[in-house]
Copies of this chain bind each other. A is one copy, B any other.
């Protein structure tokens, strides 16, 4: 017995989910059809609404349903600090460390081999953001991976002439790890132990 066209289509579509292979997609499709059709229909609607309703914050470039996100609008945050991360989940991770400045969310990291240069990951928008703000410190919290380090150093070089303290999270961040998987207190240490990349005199 081969599956009918609509079931095959569902199995194929489920494979776009990270970590879902053919076997898992089959079991998931049949599980939904047999046990949870209402849940599956809610998921269909949630997917559609999110894909169509969620855009990017004009200021920090994080995912947002409004032109400017709540975090950017929050008047209680420190306008002197700008923390640069690789993605929205990293914002969540840094928040857990207790950081209460502003953010700028890149679209990943520089990856020349994949054709991802400064424009692809939002460096021009970062420069624009720096122009419009009045930041005294830029904290580079890209992932502690080879690509994340390279991206941080690229940004530091680009801004070396500016009157701006540029720092990189350092102590406590394990090499080769992914920022969003690190617990809040480790990140807390990393932020506290940040080192300037362009020591101002």
Residues of A within 8 A of B (CB): 1, 3-7, 9-10, 12-14, 16-19, 24, 26-34, 36-37, 39-51, 53-54, 62-66, 69-71, 87-89, 91-92, 95, 103, 107, 180
The reply to whether A42 and B13 contact each other, CB–CB distance below 8 Å, is yes
Q: Within 8 Å CB of A103, what residues of B?
A: 1
Minimum CB–CB distance for A178 against chain B, Å: 10
Cα A87 to Cα B33 in complex, Å, equals 11
Q: Within 8 Å CB of A42, what residues of B?
A: 13, 16
Cα A163 to Cα B65 in complex, Å, equals 67
Q: Within 8 Å CB of A51, what residues of B?
A: 32-33, 37, 40-41, 44
